[in-house]
Amino acid sequence: MSTAALASDANHAPTEPSRFTTRETGLLAFLCTEGSLFTTLIITYIIFLGEKMPGEIPGEMPTPSNSLDLGLVIINSICLLSSSLTIYFALSARKRGAHGLYLVWFGLTILLGLEFVVGTGYEWYDLMTKYHLFPSTNTFGSTFYLLIGFHCLHVLIGVVTMSIIWAFDALRWLTPKCEAPEIVSWYWHFVDGVWVVIFTLVYIVGR
């Protein structure tokens, strides 16, 4: 009795072709987890939206409407969302074999992501110095820094990961078949998609 006997069996049923590669499936599973994480954070933000401290005088405490500034955030959002487009151009260039063009678009994506992180830093600096909004100020502060912070952390992780891949690819250490750029782009699109939800909730609906 050996495995050979099993394998040599004639007219065996074919396996269904897998739609995704192993790595893609792994990433999709990971994104499910991330989706669950962000859903929790977003629900928490909604629960505490408009929550006041007992005995709070209106206008005394920072709220979304009196402290969130749209200007910088819109610039950040444009950068982040257009980076989804640039990474798409980068990958289609890579598929065509246009290595130089790919590196340019991919590098641009990294810079746009970096702008978002730095921009968020400036936004937070303003909130802390001008409006004295800290996680300990009120539940708006707690939930705001938690939600935006978690998202920004994801952007930062994406920037670091993409930088490593960019450097490896610039040195031509990765084979053209390597799935890493494709997979990091899926992650990047996910982070961008989450931002659309967060931006709508925090800066439009909740403001």
For residue 136, state whether it binds other proteins (rule: CB under 8 A): yes
Q: How far apart are CA 140 and CA 138, in angstroms?
A: 5
Nearer to other proteins, 83 or 138 (CB): 138
Could you tell me the CA-to-CA distances from 6 to 1, 10, 14, 97 in Å, in that order? Answer: 9, 9, 14, 42
For residue 172, state whether it binds other proteins (rule: CB under 8 A): no
Q: How far apart are CA 90 and CA 103, in angstroms?
A: 7
Q: How far apart are CA 64 and CA 49, in angstroms?
A: 9
Who contacts 97 (Cβ-Cβ below 8 Å, separation ≥6)?
A: 176
Binding segment (CB under 8 A) for other proteins, from list 15-23, 104-112, 158-166, 187-195 = 15-23
Q: How far apart are CA 109 and CA 160, in angstroms?
A: 12
For residue 44, state whether it binds other proteins (rule: CB under 8 A): yes
What's the min distance (Å) between Cβ of 56 and other proteins?
Answer: 8
For residue 65, state whether it binds other proteins (rule: CB under 8 A): no
Give the single-character DSSP code of 202: I
For residue 160, state whether it binds other proteins (rule: CB under 8 A): no
In this structure, what token pair is assigned to residue 185? 């782009």
Question: Out of 41, 68, 112, 202, which residue is the one contacting other proteins (CB under 8 A)?
Answer: 41
Site for other proteins in 75-114 (CB under 8 A): none
Residues that bind other proteins (CB under 8 A): 1-7, 9, 12-16, 18, 20-23, 25-26, 29-30, 32-34, 36-37, 39-41, 44, 47-48, 51-54, 134-136, 138-139, 141-143, 145-146, 150
